[in-house]
């Protein structure tokens, strides 16, 4: 299973396959289970549909490392337009942003400036920006930027922490001390054993431990998982400690475990779905397959059935 995961992570960097799939009807059709569409209008339409099921949304304009400041500013402009459209249409949604898309690998200062303008815009509209976490090379610089922006825009910015990293417990302790909102996930990059737990059981155990830290915090946090065992453990811990269901939310990916999303809503829990869109969907798509290789069979069955 680990070998298959590593293979999909490697494929996520394959430029030839990426060019073919992102520009072919086959690729667009395969990706449609996990990607809301290629345009902002597609994403807003899907967000409204998800809202009608009692589920909130976080919107992600797909794209990662940019090669120029102009590209970074164009990527940010999409998010500025998204924030305005969310407000104008009264959609229950916030946005998720990768700092490499804002120019982090060109200049940390550039990324901080561009992201800062987005967070300021979101705060003016009563909205929120979640800074996605990328591979472990960028963990510290990402956290540094989030902490600095939080000082000026408290409540309008949060970050993602990955339970497969050894450092995550200490990072969460610092974020809680700062009052910064956290989305906890397991992690979707291929990390070495020097920085990340190599075995699934260890990742799961750390996820459960970090979940308990977050649930006991006075700050509103998000638990991102499709694992019923992790969800049940969080629900049980919350019940035993008198933590209200509206004190936190479960987050899931668009197209994954829709049945579980509906069940949680029916049982009175808050749920938010991560809805990605855009033409640069290939790396995201491959990481979803790497997280759960059984998704490959699921996609193929549905492709040929349809």
Task: Find the distance separating the first CA and the last CA of the chain, reported in whole Å.
Answer: 28
**Mean pLDDT value across residues 40-62:** 97
Tell me what pLDDT residue 20 has.
62
The two three-digit tokens of residue 30, written as one number? 């395969």
The two three-digit tokens of residue 232, written as one number? 């049940």
91: Cα separation from own chain's centroid: 18
Tell me what pLDDT residue 23 has.
64
Q: Which of 183, 202, 205 is nearest to 193 (CA)?
A: 202
pLDDT at residue 291 greater than cutoff 70: no
Chain mean pLDDT for the chain: 89
Pairing of strands 93-97, 129-131: parallel
Pairing of strands 93-97, 56-61: parallel
Q: Is 155 left (phi over 0), alpha (psi -120 to 50) or beta?
A: left
Tell me what pLDDT residue 11 has.
56
Tell me the HSE value of 46 on the side-chain side, using a 13 A CA sphere: 25
Tell me what pLDDT residue 55 has.
98
Share of the chain above pLDDT 90, in %: 74
Tell me what pLDDT residue 279 has.
74
Query: Contact 91/132 with Cβ under 8 angstroms?
Result: no
The SS3 call for residue 163 is coil
Q: Which of the following is catalytic: 18, 60, 132, 204?
A: 132
Tell me the HSE value of 238 on the side-chain side, using a 13 A CA sphere: 23
Residue 140, classified by CB atoms within 10 Å of its CB into exposed (0-12), middle (13-18) or buried (19+), is exposed
The pLDDT tens digits for 214-269 are: 999 999 999 999 999 999 999 999 999 999 999 999 999 998 889 999 999 999 99
Identify the weakest region by mean pLDDT among 55-59, 60-64, 142-146, 200-204: 60-64
Place of tokens 């995201």: 284
Q: How far apart are CA 221 and CA 227, in angstroms?
A: 17
Q: How many angstroms separate the Cα of 7 from the Cα of each of 3, 4, 106, 276?
A: 6, 5, 28, 23
pLDDT at residue 116 greater than cutoff 70: yes
Tell me what pLDDT residue 2 has.
60
Strand-pairing partners, residue 277, are 61
Tell me what pLDDT residue 65 has.
76
- Residue ranges per structural domain of the chain: 36-280
Confidence band, pLDDT 50/70/90 cuts, at residue 24: low
**Number of other CB atoms surrounding residue 263 within 10 Å:** 14
The two three-digit tokens of residue 28, written as one number? 């667009």
pLDDT at residue 299 greater than cutoff 60: no
pLDDT at residue 162 greater than cutoff 70: yes
Catalytic annotation on 209?
A: no
Q: Indicate the helix (H) or strand (E) that contains 162.
A: strand 157-162
Phi first, then psi, for residue 112 (nearest 5°) are -65, -40
Tell me what pLDDT residue 276 has.
92
Domain 36-280: assigned CATH number: 3.20.20.220
Q: Which of the following is catalytic: 130, 181, 183, 270?
A: 183
Q: How far apart are CA 295 and CA 289, in angstroms?
A: 6
Confidence band, pLDDT 50/70/90 cuts, at residue 156: very high
Q: Which residues of 85-121 are buried (b: 16+ CB within 10 A; e: fewer)?
A: bbeeeebebbbbbbbbbbbbbbebebbbbbbbebbeb
**Mean pLDDT value across residues 174-182:** 98
Tell me what pLDDT residue 303 has.
45
Catalytic annotation on 132?
A: yes
């Amino acid at each position: 299973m680990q070998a298959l995961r590593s293979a999909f992570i490697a494929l996520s960097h394959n430029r030839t396959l990426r060019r073919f799939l992102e520009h072919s009807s086959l690729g667009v059709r395969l990706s449609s289970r996990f990607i809301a569409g290629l345009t902002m209008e597609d994403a807003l339409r899907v967000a409204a549909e998800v809202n009608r099921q009692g589920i909130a949304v976080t919107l992600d304009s797909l794209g990662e490392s940019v090669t120029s400041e102009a590209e970074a500013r164009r990527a940010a402009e999409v998010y500025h337009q998204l924030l305005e459209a969310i407000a104008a249409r009264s959609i229950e949604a916030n946005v998720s942003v990768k700092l490499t898309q804002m120019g982090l690998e060109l200049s940390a200062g550039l990324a901080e400036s561009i992201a800062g303008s987005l967070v300021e815009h979101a705060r003016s509209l009563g909205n929120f920006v979640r800074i996605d976490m990328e591979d472990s090379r960028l963990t510290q610089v990402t956290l540094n930027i989030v902490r600095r922006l939080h000082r000026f825009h408290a409540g309008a910015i949060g970050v993602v922490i990955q339970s497969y990293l050894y450092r995550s417990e200490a990072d969460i302790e610092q974020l809680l001390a700062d009052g910064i909102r956290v989305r906890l996930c397991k992690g979707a990059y291929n990390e070495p054993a020097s920085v990340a737990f190599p075995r699934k059981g260890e990742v799961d155990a750390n996820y459960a431990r970090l979940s308990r830290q977050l649930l006991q915090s006075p700050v509103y946090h998000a638990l991102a998982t499709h694992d019923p065992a992790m969800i049940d453990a969080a629900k049980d811990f919350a019940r035993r400690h008198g933590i209200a269901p509206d004190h936190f939310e479960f987050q899931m990916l668009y197209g994954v475990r829709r049945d579980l999303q509906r069940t949680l809503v029916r049982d009175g829990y808050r749920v938010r779905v991560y809805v990605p869109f855009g033409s640069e969907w290939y790396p995201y798509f491959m990481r979803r397959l790497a997280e759960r290789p059984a998704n490959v069979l699921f996609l193929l069955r549905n492709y040929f059935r349809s």
